[in-house]
Structure formats: C-alpha cells, structure tokens
Amino acid sequence: MTEQEYIQARRSEPWRDELRRNMKAKERSDRTRVHMPELDAEYRSYSLKEEVNLGLSEEQALFEAARCLDCANPTCMEGCPVSINIPTFIKNIERGEFLEAAKVLKETSALPAVCGRVCPQEKQCESKCIYVQKMKKEAVAIGNLERFAADYERISGKVSLPELAPANGIKIAAVGSGPAGLSFAGDMAKRGYDVTVFEALHEIGGVLKYGIPEFRLPNEIVDVEIDVLRKMGVKFVKNCIVGKTISHEDLKEEGFKGIFAASGAGLPNFMNIPGENLIGVMSSNEFLTRVNLMDASNPESDTPVQMGKKVAIIGAGNTAMDAVRTARRLGAERAMVVYRRSEEEMPARLEEVKHAKEEGIEFMTLHNPLQYEGDANGRVQRMQLQKMELGEPDASGRRKPVPIEGAVEWIDVDEVIVSVGVSPNPLIPSSFKGLEVTKWGTIVVNQDTMQSDLPDVYAGGDIVRGGATVILAMGDGRKAAAAMDAALKK
Amino acid sequence: MNKIVDKEYFSENVVKFEVEAPLIARSRKAGHFVILKVGDKGERIPLTIASSNNERGTITIVIQAVGESSKKICALNAGDYITDMVGPLGQATHIEKYGTVICAGGGVGVAPMLPIMEAMKKAGNRVVSVLAARTKDLVILEKQVAEFSDEVIVMTDDGSYGQQGLVTNGIESVINREQVDLCVTIGPAIMMKFVSLLTKKYNIPTMASLNTIMVDGTGMCGACRVSVGGKTKFVCVDGPEFDAHEVDFDEMLMRLKAYN
C-alpha cells in the first residue's frame, strides 16, 4: 500500500465518515481557533521551571479538533518532516479517543510531546493547512492538539508502545541522543533492530536537555518519551564519546552493522570582537548548559552561574530567546536582545518572540556589538553598539544590514550571551577515516538516504544541516532508518 | 558509574585515585584528560589522566582539594563510585624525539606530567624533570618521576627539600649548563606563565598544558576559551596543550577568577 492509499484507507473507516457527516463544513470553519492558555507574564518572568504554555483542556481540544475538515488530500501532512498522519490523530481527538490519537502520533514520531511544544508549526504543518492555504483563516492548531494527545496519554499513565517487528538480532548504533538520534532509534527498534544510542554527556536528550529550558519543555516530558524508547528495547550508553572513548573500528568489531551519526552542531560561534573573552561574556550554549543541564541556579547544585542584572543577548534565533528569557528569570532587571537586522528577519519562532516581549525583554533591533569593555577585574562592564540600517537584499534574499556611519553608543551590561549560531561538532568527521565533509564541517550525505560515503555510516540532524530545528533532525532520523533498513535487508 | 578501586594520600589535600574505566584506559594517550562528576547535583570537573592500567581496566587521577567539588571528590574512598566520567578528552601530547626535554611540573601538575615524561623517555629523549612545590610535604610522585627521567631536580619554596627556589630557578640552571630542545610545563597558571617568560628569553620551544574552567569538555560551550597567538581556542578540544609562548596567560589568569 502506498502512503496515499494508506491515508485514504484510514479516512474511509466508518467512524470517520460518520464524524464528517455529523457537522457541516461551514459550521467547522466558522469556529475561531482556540488559544492556548498561558501563565501570567509578570508571574512567569520570575519562574524558571514552570511551563509558560499550559496546554488545552479536554473541552478546548474537542472544540479545536472539530475545526479540522478531514481533507481528502491532507496538505498539512506535507508540511510535517516526519509525516504524522495529522487528520487521523485529530479526528480521534474529535471522537474523544485521546489514547488512540496518541497511538497515531507514535506511529511516526518518537517525541510527540516534544514536537507539539517546540516545532515551528507556523512554518511547517500549520502553514499547509487548508485554512491558511485557501481560506485566509487561522490554521487548525495541530501542534497544540499533538501536545494535548501526548500529554493526555502521559498523565493517564496508560502509555502505549508502538508495535514492534520481531527482533532480528542486527546491532545498530546511533551516535548522539538528541532528536535525530532518538527518532532514528525509535524507528529502528520498531523494525526489530537491536539499537544502542551513545551519548557524550551524562544525560540523554541532547539539546532537549541542555538547550531548551524547562519553561518551554520540561525535562520530565523528555524523560517519559525516552523511557518509551527504553521499553521498546533501545539501549542507552551515557558518558561515551564515539570517536574518543570508542572508535568506528571498535563499533564494527563489536558487530554494529550500521551507524547513524547525529552528533549535532554543538560548537558555538563567537564574533571575534575585542573584549569577547572578558568575564561575563559567554556562549548561549554555556549559559543554557549551566542552567538547564547542571541546574546551576539551584543553590543545591555545585555548578555556578552568573546571574546578571543588565544582560545582553546577541542574536535573535530560538536559542537567543531561550537565553534572554532564562536571564530574565534569573533576575535580570534589564534583558536585551541585540540583533543586527530588523524584527521581520528574526529567525526565532513568532510565539517565542511574543512571549519574550510579554516578559519585558527589550528588543534592540538594527544594532550590532563592536566591542566590550571590562572593569579592573576583567568583568564586562559595557558594550559598544553600532546602529544599522537595511540595505539591498543579498543572495539569500534577506536585506543586508549596513552600519550607519558614526551612529554608535555605549550601554552598561554585566553579562553578555553570544548566540550567533553554532558549527558542526568535528568529533565524528575527524575520527571516522575517509568520511567526506563540506568546508563548513558538515557530513556529506545522499539527500534521499542520509548515507555518507562510508557505506555503514548514515548521518542526520545538525551534523548534516548546521544549526536547524528539532523536527528536521527527527525527519532525518526517520529517513535514515528507512534507508538503512532497506540496505541491510538486501 | 565508575568504581574507585584504590585511594592513596600523597599529602593531606592531595589524593590519588585508581578508578575503573576500561574503555578510557584502552584509548587514552599522554596528555588526555577526563571530565568527572560526583552526585546528582555535582559539577563537571576536568582532570588529566596520570596513568592507566589496561589489564586492570583502570585509570589513575590525582586531585587536590581546593574547592567544594574537589573536596567532595577527595572524601570518596575505595569502593565508592564516581557518578559520571567521560574521556579521553582533548588532543594527545605530540611526542617525538626532540633531544633534551625539560618537564617542569608544579604542585599536582606533576601527576598529569607523568605520562608525558614516560612517553618522551620512550621516544628516546633525555628527560630532565624539575618538580616544584611550596614545601616538602607537597612534593609528589618523585619515585615515579625518577623512573622516567634521566635527572630529577626538586625545588621547594622554603628549601625544606631539594633546592630552595622556584621552578624557574631549576629550569634556568639546566639551560645554563646544557642544550635544551623542548620544555613542557604543567602547573598553576601563574607558574606556567613565568616558565614561559623564561624559556622565551632563551628561545626554547615550550608547551604548556592549560587548566581553564570547563563545563562539558567536548567543545560545545567555550567556557574554556583562551587566546593563543591572538586567536580564540577552546582548551578542551584544541588543547589542552599549546605553544606556551603564544598563550595570553594574563587573560587566562583573569578568566580563572570568573567564579571567585
């Protein structure tokens, strides 16, 4: 059965027919989108661990699910990198079968509770929703509904496992336990493989643990999804760096027939401007790792973190939003986003920008740092900013920021967090002999199969893409699993 | 979890641990380090591997109790476990036959120096080791050092053992009497700075193993960054050893005080 036929077959099940007949399309489309309840902005700007988005209630989920028109040709699915069967899970919510909805999610996604929270749905599934495409209305809240179904299942305690093929005894490895590695591991476990995930840090989850803060993605939720993988038979080895602790040759000797390299883009970029090595200037990775992974703001933790009063975050991606909102929650009286382009070009999710603004974050767009100055002890004291204007569009289509001559200013800061992107981690590329990499250090793969020029090595996520998103990494994991499975079965 | 199989006190505050870590023992080389963490709320601490035993599947680390975390680690006993340990990290020391190599270690820096001395000796170098400590009780590993050295010079600040003076006095006495082809130095940052200034004067190539603040130790945060030859480097992945004459020691000394 092709995917198309499978979608149709499920759509024509009698209960789905009945559901469609129960309410007129006009009545569905006249409904306005349900908005997710949130914690009060003032309150939450002091609360590091409480989640901002509170999730839909059952009533809200039922109401929103009925907005979905159950299209014969569900274009929303084209926008999902892991091809979740979106109408099928939403219609299960509409008929009140929430656990069934969660099962549908798990057919293709290893981390639905995560994706429902952190995917930029406005650029993916929801951008392809017929409401947006044809009707100029707000899309069905697919992400919120996904989160609802996954959370419902978790809270119910009746967490189901996806169906597993009989064990085939073939050992395969994932390097890195971030979203790409976990997605790959889940798909291979379903196919009956003996999967081991190797992680360099002391916690499983990659950026989901060290990067994305609790107020956006609670660790407990990540752990529940990882636990499902464990119950599916996936083994996790922490504190093990493939390429350092064990080599590619070791893995082969131990009988691993396929390796999926998903070691991410962990190397933070700096701007190489004067004063960047002063105390108090750090990468967003360092700041977020201290706070999220090491729990540094908790007095019981041995790891320290600086809690600045006047904090500038350089950059305007999702990581920058996470860092600035975290700094605010650690007590920053002034928390600023410094970005060299205008608000329109900001790469962060709209929702994160909105949340940041509500929490009192200042946005200094069209500003670029030139240098930092410290006090006698080498602690950062102020930053010099260059004001910018937008010039002609560059090759990528974005308007290039150009300095306005003479327009510079000094602003007092006691902490600066540099969040201007990351580069691929060189560990795998430098330790796997013969692996082809680009000049940016990303691994070269066949776009359809994610296979590298080493036949047993596949790669995906940020080590292939540079810094991208959780869901694209998961899509790569899925693709690599399908291709590796096909290759091993030949 | 890594089991501690042996503990030995070198002095009141300096402890040697032999820890089970078969994979690290097998793949580590001179110059490599590990990151370890004790307890759920523990901090990640970098420590250079002093030696390993492949048959026993163990590595040896030497740690001085100076702060909260190192005191916590030093309080562990044989049979206890280190919650997390990862490695080997960093670039291995570049070993070749240079001729005469001075290995200058200060305080607990002698422990991570040991595998370098051993490798330098095995590569056919004449190894002159200069050990420095504040006082007699803090001189560690002298016997093991002697095993891999053609000559050992011990310097103490107070003259309670060996010769009275600083590590630089010991190094200069060697330079004054014979051709020196390389100097390797590990110890407190301030000591390495002065060793570097001295050898620069005599134009002797010098490697320093830097001990900066670290978090992950795998290159993902940049907490350990230093300026080397005017460029920012990450000690955990580009180092820990660098050409000492290119290192901005003043900046490094400043950054070490970030959390004081």
Could you give the ipTM of this predicted complex? 0.94
CB contact under 8 A, A279 and B219: no
Tokens of B37: 């963490």
Helix (H, G, I), strand (E, B) or coil at B196: helix
Residue A312 has phi, psi (to 5 degrees) of -115, 130
Nearest CA in chain B to A374: B254
pLDDT tens digits for chain A (490 residues)? 788 899 999 999 999 999 999 999 999 999 999 999 999 999 999 999 999 999 999 999 999 999 999 999 999 999 998 899 999 999 999 999 999 999 999 998 989 999 999 888 988 999 999 999 999 999 999 999 999 999 999 999 988 899 999 999 999 999 999 999 999 999 999 999 999 999 999 999 999 999 999 999 999 999 999 999 999 999 999 999 999 999 999 999 999 999 999 999 888 999 999 999 999 999 999 999 999 999 999 999 999 999 999 999 999 999 999 999 999 999 999 999 999 999 999 999 888 999 999 999 999 999 999 999 999 999 999 999 999 999 888 877 778 899 999 999 999 999 999 999 999 888 888 889 999 999 989 999 999 999 999 999 999 999 999 878 888 999 999 999 999 999 999 8
Rounded to a whole number of angstroms, the distance from the CA of A210 to the nearest CA of chain B is: 10
**Mean pLDDT value across residues B154-162:** 94
- CA of B57 vs chain A CAs: smallest distance (Å): 13
CA B35 to chain centre: 14
Report how far residue A71's alpha carbon sits from residue A85's, in angstroms, rounded to the nearest whole number: 12
Measure the CA–CA gap between A166 and A186, rounded to whole angstroms: 14
Q: How far is B240 from B257, CA to CA, in rounded Å?
A: 19
- As a whole number of angstroms, the distance between CA B221 and CA A325 comes to 19
CA A243 to chain centre: 25
Chain A residues within 8 A (CB-CB) of chain B? 200-202, 210, 238-241, 244-247, 266-268, 270, 272, 276-277, 279-280, 282-283, 285-286, 289-290, 294-295, 298, 300-304, 306, 377-378, 425-427
Query: Are the C-beta atoms of residues A444 and A438 closer than 8 Å to each other?
Result: yes
**C-beta atoms surrounding A165 within 10 Å:** 11
- The pLDDT of residue A65: 97
Euclidean distance between CA atoms A145 and A96, whole angstroms: 12
Distance CA A193, CA A450 (A): 18
Show residues of chain B in contact with A298, CB under 8 Å. Answer: 41
Mutation for A interface: B86, B227, B252, B255, most A CBs within 10 A: B86
pLDDT, averaged across chain B: 95
C-alpha span between A46 and A41 (Å, rounded): 9
Question: Cα separation of A241 and A315, whole Å?
Answer: 30
CA distance A127 to A78: 10
C-alpha to C-alpha distance for B151 and B174, rounded to whole angstroms: 10
What's the number of CA atoms in the CB half-sphere (13 Å) around residue A129? 27
pLDDT at A427: 82
CB atoms A244 and B27 under 8 Å: yes
The pLDDT value given to residue A392? 86
Angle (CA) A180-A186-A192 rounded to 5° is 135
Residue B219 to residue A390: CA distance in whole angstroms:
34
Cβ-nearest to A289 among B27, B84, B216: B216
Bridge partner residues of B97 (DSSP): none
Torsion of CA A414, A417, A420, A421, to 10 degrees: 170
For the residues of B52-99, what is the DSSP string, one character each?
EETTTTEEEEEEE--SHHHHHHHT--TT-EESEEEEEESPPP-----S
State the amino acid at position A122 in one-letter form.
Answer: E
- Please tell me the distance in Å from B11's CA to the nearest CA on chain A: 25
Residues contacting residue A344 through CB under 8 Å, at least 6 positions apart: none
- The encoded tokens of residue A215 equal 């107020």
Q: What is the 3-state secondary structure (H, E, C) of chain A?
A: CCHHHHHHHHHCCHHHHHHHHHCCHHHHHHCCCCCCCECCHHHHCCCCCCCCECCCCHHHHHHHHCCCCCCCCCHHHHHCCCCCCHHHHHHHHHCCCHHHHHHHHHHHCCCHHHHHHHCCHHHCHHHHCHHHHCCCCCCCCHHHHHHHHHHHHHHHCCCCCCCCCCCCCCEEEEECCCHHHHHHHHHHHHCCCEEEEECCCCCCCCHHHHCCCCCCCCHHHHHHHHHHHHHCCCEEECCCCECCCECHHHHHHCCEEEEEECCCCCEECCCCCCCCCCECEEEHHHHHHHHHHCCCCCCCCCCCCCCCCEEEEECCCHHHHHHHHHHHHCCCCEEEEEECCCHHHCCCCHHHHHHHHHCCCEEEECEEEEEEEECCCCEEEEEEEEEEEEEEECCCCCEEEEEEEEEEEEEECCEEEECCCEECCCHHHHHCCCCCECCCCCECCCCCCCECCCCCEEECCHHHHCCCCHHHHHHHHHHHHHHHHHHHHC
CB contact under 8 A, A244 and B221: no
**What is the signed CA dihedral for A386, A391, A396, A397, rounded to 10 degrees?**
140
Sequence length of chain B is: 260
pLDDT in tens, B46-82: 999 999 999 999 999 999 998 889 999 999 999 999 9
Question: For residue A394, what pLDDT is reported?
Answer: 80
* Mutation to test the A interface, candidates B32, B45, B215, B249, most A Cβ within 10 Å: B215
What pLDDT does residue A371 have? 98
Cis peptide bond upstream of B88, omega within 30: yes
Band (pLDDT 50/70/90 cuts) for residue B256 is: very high
CA distances from A28 to A22, A42, A69, A450, A486 (A): 10, 35, 7, 41, 42
Token reading at A121: 């749905």
The pLDDT value recorded for residue B244 is 98
What is the residue type of B93?
Answer: T
Contact B219 A425 (CB under 8 A): yes
| Predicted pLDDT of residue B11 | 85
Give bridge partners of residue A194 from the DSSP assignment: A171
Global pTM value: 0.94
Task: Nearest chain B residue to A424 by CA: give it.
Answer: B220
Task: Name every chain A residue with its beta carbon within 8 A of the beta carbon of B87.
Answer: 241, 244-245
